[in-house]
Amino acid sequence: MRNNPGGLLSAAVESADLFLNDGLIVTTKSRSEGDQQFQALPANKFQKIKLGILINRRSASAAEVFTAALKEHKRAWVIGENSYGKGVVQKLFPLPNGAALQMTVSHYYTPNGNMIEGQGIQPNQIYPLSPEIKEDNYLDHVAEFTLKSKL
């Protein structure tokens, strides 16, 4: 999920569902539409696989939804840096003069009820990419650390 700016909420929910047997994946809260909860369905495909998720400050939106669901259900060990904290759904409203207004219409909340917007997802283990560690060495260090972690 590192450097993943997000995408469709439906894709994050469907992807998380592959690794969860049951439980809440995400809640969207909106003034106009109320709360909407997305639940994992039984019969997941990858329940027994141990997972590590690498995130950084460029992991955002749907990537954060996926990460939070697996972390909070204790299905993945999350490593890296705090994520971006983009937990909103925005909608474009056309105006009569041809312009448009983009407005936030709802917010994402993790299974434990934490708002993603402005907070991001905290990894289980902080492991920042430092200037001293080259990119390929960083991935080697993270892989080694993941194997030794609580997965």
As a CATH number, domain 9-148 is: 3.90.226.10
Domain boundaries, the chain: 9-148
Burial zone of 102 (CB within 10 Å; 0-12 exposed, 13-18 middle, 19+ buried): exposed
Percent of the chain with pLDDT over 70: 89
**pLDDT tens digit string along 94-148?**
999 999 999 999 999 999 999 999 999 999 999 877 766 666 676 776 777 666 6
Q: Six-digit token pair at 148?
A: 């030794």
